[in-house]
Amino acid sequence: MAIDTDKNSYTIIFAVIMVVVVGSLLAGFASGLKPTIKENEQREKQQNILYAMGVNNNDPDDSSVAFIQEDVEATFKEYITKQLVIQDGEVTEDDQAYLIDIKKEETKAKDPEYKRRLPLMVGEKDGKEVYVMPVRGKGLWDAIWGFVAVDKSMTITGVYFDHKGETPGLGAEIKQRYFMDDFTGESFLNGGAFKGIDVAKGNNDPNNTDTSDNEVDALAGATITGDGVTAMLRKDIKMYVPYFQSLNQ
């Protein structure tokens, strides 16, 4: 049986069958592996939150961070004492708060009727309470996000940043430890009012010895990513300010 493979009708039928076969194959794979992938993503989130808190077994010489530890779930339970959801000033406990998709919350919050849910993880490290907040913003090419851990007075105890597609060697450096470590000790407040933290060029403090200037040294060649980090921190952390005020009263 010889088929005329040059006929238009044959070509179209071939294309249709191919798309159907490939489509169902991929759909099968995607739904079959989804639970495992989702679990990995949750574990990664837990690991990142722990990293921001300063709980990590990372090699101190290694510039890369936060491999997912085998026992991350147990460690997460051990260090995170409670998880809160703040919605319109009301605080409720929710042990799945860390899974709240803040990207979706941000989209929903465009509707003025909607009261945005803010997740807040409260942990304890070395006898001190640490509050971990997720942040999300825009870099140069794509999304950037992270977790910020602060103490009661909104002084940073640790941060974790990640990105989807920043330039390797430039913007992608935000997830390097030398950049993230600079944030430790900086405060979001200045004279009691919320100021945020600027990723600043020319702050004349490359070693970041001055932790009261609300500035960290920027990365060379990554101005837009750096500005993205500044904007992300300012926008997302600001929403938690009322909670911290009530905490300190």
Partner 1 sequence: MGLLSKKDSKLILDPLADNNPITIQVLGICSALAITAQLKPSIVMAISVLFVMGVGNIVISLMRNIIPSKIRIIVQLVVVATLVIIVDQVLKAFAYELSKELSVFIGLIITNCIIMGRFEAFALGNGVWRSFLDGIGNAAGYGVILIIVGFFRELLGSGTLFGFKVLGDPVAKTGLYAIGYENNGFMVLPPMALIVVGIIIWVQRSKNKDLIEEN
Question: Is residue 70 involved in binding partner 1 (CB under 8 A)?
Answer: no
Interface segment toward partner 1; rule CB under 8 A; list 29-37, 103-111, 144-152, 194-202: 29-37
Task: Check binding of 57 to partner 1 (CB under 8 A).
Answer: no
For the chain, give the DSSP string: ----TT-HHHHHHHHHHHHHHHHHHHHHHHHHHHHHHHHHHHHHHHHHHHHHHT-----TT-SS--PPPTTHHHHHHHHEEEEEEEETTEEEE-TTGGG--HHHHHHHTTSTT---EEEEEEEEETTEEEEEEEEEEE-SSSEEEEEEEE-TTSBEEEEEEEESSPPTTTGGGGGSHHHHHTTTT-BSEETTEE---EEETT-S-TT----SSSEEEPPTT-HHHHHHHHHHHHHHHHTTHHHHHHHH-
Quick one: which segment of 1-9, 110-118, 196-204, 241-249 binds partner 1 (CB under 8 A)? 1-9
Nearer to partner 1, 87 or 167 (CB): 167
User: Whose Cβ is closer to partner 1: residue 4's or residue 111's?
Assistant: 4
Would you count residue 30 as binding partner 1 (CB under 8 A)? yes
Could you say whether residue 61 binds partner 1 (CB under 8 A)? yes
The span of 22-30, 78-86, 91-99, 205-213 binding partner 1 (CB under 8 A) equals 22-30
- The residue within the footprint of partner 1, chosen from 16, 20, 22, 91 (CB under 8 A), is 22
Q: Quick one: which of 169, 206, 221, 242 contacts partner 1 (CB under 8 A)?
A: 169
Residues in touch with partner 1 (CB under 8 A): 3, 5-6, 10-11, 14-15, 18-19, 22, 25-26, 29-30, 33, 36-37, 40-41, 43-44, 61, 67-68, 165, 169
